[in-house]
Chain A
Amino acid sequence: MRMKSYLFGSLLLLPLFFSCEVLAPQEPEEYELLDGPVEDLTMAEAQRFIKGDVAFNDQIFTVETGLGPIFTGTSCVSCHAGDGKGHPFVKFTRFGQSFPGVNEYLKQGGPQLQNRAIPGYEPETLPPGAPHTDLIAPIVTGLGFLDAVTDQDLIDMSDPDDLDGDGISGRVHWNTRPDYVKDRPETISVDGKYITRFGKKGNMYDLLHQTADAYNQDIGITSYFEPYETYSGDKMPSEIDRQTISDVVFYLKTLKAPIPRDQDDPDVMAGKALFGDLQCAACHKPTLTTGYSPIVAISYKEFHPYTDLLLHDMGPDLDDGYTEGYAHSYEWKTPALWGIGLAKDSQGGQYFLLHDGRARSIEEAILYHGGEAENSKNLYLGLSQTEKDQVLKFIESL
């Protein structure tokens, strides 16, 4: 009898042990997360995505593996937690250029200030009088779609001379690019310049350019693509292999587009209509289309980033007196609004919006708009509180 009790008791424990799934934390809904791959990757592509994911999210650089000697972050994920926006803790500073053209402070450490250093080294300090701006990292999801928009589509959206008279005159960023990048399909070149589209000033050509530059300027990692150490300026052996960078680029290309939420909510729907009425959508274009991409999952797809990838005059409040490439200091590339409602989840539970995180709410970000967006801002200010709330709720749903 006693033996039976023991056996019975033991048997009771077995279902408890194998009910692992029941008591375990449930997976968040897909729309609550920024990370994850685009749908319909092949299995080989999925494996490569995972390799890039590991390099992007798990690879921490140490003194032994090449960190620094001067740097701003120790890994990709330190600036892009959960593939989301950066936090002021990893805010970085660019300096040395006031006007379109060349950075005059390249020999004094420009364009990026590496404000941290491994023990025994001194970090860079801002040269007196150097024009500069602070920046926080953007959301990185959906970048493959933005990369695959054709140059011609960008040119078609641009209106540099405001020929349609709507007060909005976005222009593509004609810029130089490093030799190691390859032409994107149907790329357009004029007088040796190309249309660049990544970065806050839209001065980076593609995701390889962006990634290799970030490894070098942010973490102090030399590579085949960017072999010059930021501290000494000397050419150094690669501290990361080409394959890893390539995997990270693939990962960034195949991160899914953020999934909008609450799209059936009447307030969100009303806010969406107002967003159009206020002409916000003139720059924050709701829908773009990709051209050909060797990755079938992002080839010829319609997507909804709420950007036109063009440079716009944003007025004096956002003119920090610093610029990159051939943009003016008052010009900024329209940032994609997709995923903005999830930004807090990578920023410690609070908003740090605009290029340097100065805006602590979506409304505050709107109020910083000027220049070509002055009219839209004024229209927003003329809304009733209910309508304003609807606009904000819509933007937060993206």
Chain B
Amino acid sequence: MKISTLNFLKINLLIIAICCFGSAHAQEEDPEKGEENNEQELNMDAVFSRPTLSFDKVPVTVGGYLEANTMHRTEEGITDGLSFQARRLTIFMAASISERIKFLTEIEFEDGGKEVAIEFAALDVAFHPLFNFRGGIVMNPIGAFNENHDGPKWEFVERPDVAVNMLAATLSNAGFGMYGKTYSGNWIFGYEAYLTNGFSSRIISNEQDKTYLPAHKDGDNLFEDNLSGKAMFSGKLAVKNRKIGEIGVSYMGGTYNKFQDDGEDVEDQAKVDVFAIDWNTTIKATGTYIVGEAAWIWAETPDTYTQQYGNKQRGVFMDIVQPVYKSKIFEWEDATFNVAARFDYVDWNVGRFKETNTRIGDQLLAVTPGISFRPTPKTVFRINYRYEWNKDILNNPTERAATWYMGFSSYF
């Protein structure tokens, strides 16, 4: 039986993680310390900003999270009824190899283990706070959600459409780069810059019948092959004021198609450019937390291809979370009830038909109110009701769908 390199790596990481759990002595985190850290953290720190278990005499920490839910979806009056989903089990493990060298990996099991993906596996070397090397399988720093996607951090079962169905979150690629942070008073400045493998032509030829960056993830040998032979650049600048909030601007782009084969030009070189802005803030007076991101994509396609696959896309999401009750409940100190609402909008094909000069459709609009209960910050129980309006490419009558979700997500 042949085992691919990728699967071999996954299996070994899993075995190590299980062994570590066997001898673990969990150390409770100090919540106050956590809050202090939050004020100094940017979205880019999310991969290391997680509750973990550490072990005596072992420089390894292990953690993870589990998400499960029920859902009931009705589309134009037709429903498939109630279903139970264990969406993902994610295990992450960090190791301090030496004072300035550390390793972190994140492995995700989706759909009951049918999909196993290494989302992150990188070696970090700290030379200076403003210059850290990172290499391996890195998360492309586009938007905020891609790097800060842990289920327990969010009040909604579904991930934001713009992040998942437009920007391909969670997107990671093999590559290298650097990142850094600096502080000045209330201000924090951070940056990330990586060169990685790029997208593939699947983004303009897929079963979604639209320009669809997530289709890239269906390809084989993602962490071994770079079809275009050109590096993709992704980078982000983020600024945070501890009293106001954080804003980030990010870019990702490069050639996505295999335009040469055996040294011969076989297609015109085609590029994809992605630009995103993300923000988050907490209104101190009310405790209202606001987070969101907006993104734009420009994808070159041949003029002789079909407008089914658009050249421009745009989307946005915004979450508003309002704590409404915080108290000791059972034995949970500071258990919190929240009400929340999310707005999603994605336009997968911005433009007008050449034939009629009428506007191209292919859009989604969704509103998701919800309530959540957090017995601790690490665990969230949530009920969401998502109502969405979908327009097909021709702008035919809107298809509506409503979905109830009830579930939980928790670090462990």
Expressed in whole angstroms, the minimum distance between the Cβ of B263 and any Cβ of chain A is: 15
B404 and A17 within 8 A (CB): yes
Which stretch (B148-156, B191-199, B225-233, B394-402) binds chain A? Answer: B394-402
* Other-chain residue from B79, B267, B371 in contact with A120 (beta carbon distance below 8 A): B267
A346 and B76 within 8 A (CB): no
What does the 1/0 interface line of A23-52 toward B look like (CB < 8 Å)?
A: 111111000000000000000000000000
Q: Which of B320-370 contact A (CB under 8 A)?
A: 329, 353, 355-356, 358, 361
Chain B residues near A213 (CB-CB < 8 A)? none
* Other-chain residue from B79, B205, B206, B301 in contact with A20 (beta carbon distance below 8 A): B79
Could you tell me the distance between the alpha carbons of A89 and B396 in the complex, rounded to whole angstroms?
13
Could you tell me the distance between the alpha carbons of A78 and B306 in the complex, rounded to whole angstroms?
11
Expressed in whole angstroms, the minimum distance between the Cβ of A217 and any Cβ of chain B is: 15
What does the 1/0 interface line of B102-116 toward A look like (CB < 8 Å)?
A: 000000000000000
**Known contacts A17-B406, A20-B404, A119-B267: does B396 contact A81 (CB below 8 Å)?**
yes
B353 and A88 within 8 A (CB): yes
B305 and A116 within 8 A (CB): yes
A119 and B201 within 8 A (CB): yes
Could you tell me the distance between the alpha carbons of A21 and B257 in the complex, rounded to whole angstroms?
46
Could you tell me the distance between the alpha carbons of A299 and B33 in the complex, rounded to whole angstroms?
77
- Name the residue on A nearest B207 (C-beta): A60
- Name the residue on A nearest B389 (C-beta): A25
- Name the residue on B nearest A120 (C-beta): B267
What does the 1/0 interface line of A86-126 toward B look like (CB < 8 Å)?
A: 01110100000000000000000000000111111111000
Q: Which of B236-275 contact A (CB under 8 A)?
A: 257, 266-268, 270
Chain B residues near A345 (CB-CB < 8 A)? 396-397
B206 and A348 within 8 A (CB): no
B78 and A89 within 8 A (CB): no
What does the 1/0 interface line of A7-25 toward B look like (CB < 8 Å)?
A: 0000001001100110111
Could you tell me the distance between the alpha carbons of A358 and B329 in the complex, rounded to whole angstroms?
69
Indicate whether B304 reaches chain A with its CB closer than 8 angstroms. yes
Indicate whether B94 reaches chain A with its CB closer than 8 angstroms. no
- Name the residue on A nearest B337 (C-beta): A9
Indicate whether B59 reaches chain A with its CB closer than 8 angstroms. no
Classify the secondary structure of A's interface with B: loop
B302 and A75 within 8 A (CB): no
* Other-chain residue from B205, B304, B396 in contact with A82 (beta carbon distance below 8 A): B396
Could you tell me the distance between the alpha carbons of A6 and B207 in the complex, rounded to whole angstroms?
46
Expressed in whole angstroms, the minimum distance between the Cβ of B245 and any Cβ of chain A is: 32
A62 and B206 within 8 A (CB): yes
A347 and B305 within 8 A (CB): no
A17 and B304 within 8 A (CB): no
Classify the secondary structure of B's interface with A: loop
Indicate whether B158 reaches chain A with its CB closer than 8 angstroms. no
Indicate whether B385 reaches chain A with its CB closer than 8 angstroms. yes
What does the 1/0 interface line of B383-412 toward A look like (CB < 8 Å)?
A: 101010000111111001110101000000
A25 and B355 within 8 A (CB): no
Could you tell me the distance between the alpha carbons of A88 and B357 in the complex, rounded to whole angstroms?
10
What does the 1/0 interface line of B263-297 toward A look like (CB < 8 Å)?
A: 00011101000000000000000000000000000
A60 and B329 within 8 A (CB): no
A119 and B302 within 8 A (CB): yes
A348 and B205 within 8 A (CB): no
Indicate whether B45 reaches chain A with its CB closer than 8 angstroms. no
**Known contacts A17-B404, A118-B205: does B353 contact A89 (CB below 8 Å)?**
yes
Expressed in whole angstroms, the minimum distance between the Cβ of B361 and any Cβ of chain A is: 7
B356 and A120 within 8 A (CB): no
Indicate whether A74 reaches chain B with its CB closer than 8 angstroms. yes
Indicate whether B224 reaches chain A with its CB closer than 8 angstroms. no
Indicate whether B96 reaches chain A with its CB closer than 8 angstroms. no
A23 and B402 within 8 A (CB): yes
Chain A residues near B201 (CB-CB < 8 A)? 63, 119
Expressed in whole angstroms, the minimum distance between the Cβ of A90 and any Cβ of chain B is: 9
Could you tell me the distance between the alpha carbons of A23 and B79 in the complex, rounded to whole angstroms?
13
**Known contacts A20-B79, A348-B394: does B209 contact A25 (CB below 8 Å)?**
no
Indicate whether A349 reaches chain B with its CB closer than 8 angstroms. yes
Chain A residues near B304 (CB-CB < 8 A)? 115-117, 121-123
Indicate whether B72 reaches chain A with its CB closer than 8 angstroms. yes
Could you tell me the distance between the alpha carbons of A13 and B404 in the complex, rounded to whole angstroms?
12
A348 and B396 within 8 A (CB): yes
* Other-chain residue from B76, B77, B268, B302 in contact with A117 (beta carbon distance below 8 A): B302
Chain A residues near B396 (CB-CB < 8 A)? 81-82, 345-349
A26 and B329 within 8 A (CB): no
A17 and B207 within 8 A (CB): no
Indicate whether B74 reaches chain A with its CB closer than 8 angstroms. yes
A25 and B75 within 8 A (CB): yes
Could you tell me the distance between the alpha carbons of A71 and B202 in the complex, rounded to whole angstroms?
18
**Known contacts A62-B206, A63-B205, A117-B302: does B392 contact A17 (CB below 8 Å)?**
no
A346 and B205 within 8 A (CB): no
* Other-chain residue from B77, B270, B395, B404 in contact with A27 (beta carbon distance below 8 A): B77
Could you tell me the distance between the alpha carbons of A88 and B385 in the complex, rounded to whole angstroms?
37
B329 and A6 within 8 A (CB): yes
Expressed in whole angstroms, the minimum distance between the Cβ of A139 and any Cβ of chain B is: 14
Could you tell me the distance between the alpha carbons of A60 and B212 in the complex, rounded to whole angstroms?
13
Chain B residues near A26 (CB-CB < 8 A)? 77
Chain B residues near A350 (CB-CB < 8 A)? 358
A88 and B356 within 8 A (CB): yes
Chain B residues near A17 (CB-CB < 8 A)? 72, 383, 404, 406
Closest 7 pairs (CB-CB, A-B)? A27-B77, A24-B74, A25-B400, A120-B267, A348-B394, A88-B355, A24-B402
A to B CB contacts below 8 Å, 23 in the list = A6-B329, A13-B371, A16-B383, A20-B74, A24-B79, A25-B74, A25-B75, A25-B76, A25-B401, A28-B76, A28-B77, A62-B205, A62-B206, A74-B209, A75-B209, A78-B209, A81-B392, A91-B355, A116-B304, A119-B204, A119-B268, A120-B266, A121-B304
Task: Give chain A's interface residues, CB within 8 Å of chain B.
Answer: 6, 13, 16-17, 20-21, 23-28, 60, 62-64, 67, 71, 73-75, 78, 81-82, 87-89, 91, 115-123, 345-350
With contacts A119-B302, A348-B361 known, what are 18 further pairs, Cβ within 8 A?
A17-B406, A20-B404, A21-B79, A23-B385, A25-B74, A28-B77, A60-B208, A62-B205, A75-B209, A78-B209, A81-B392, A88-B356, A89-B356, A89-B393, A115-B304, A117-B302, A347-B394, A348-B394
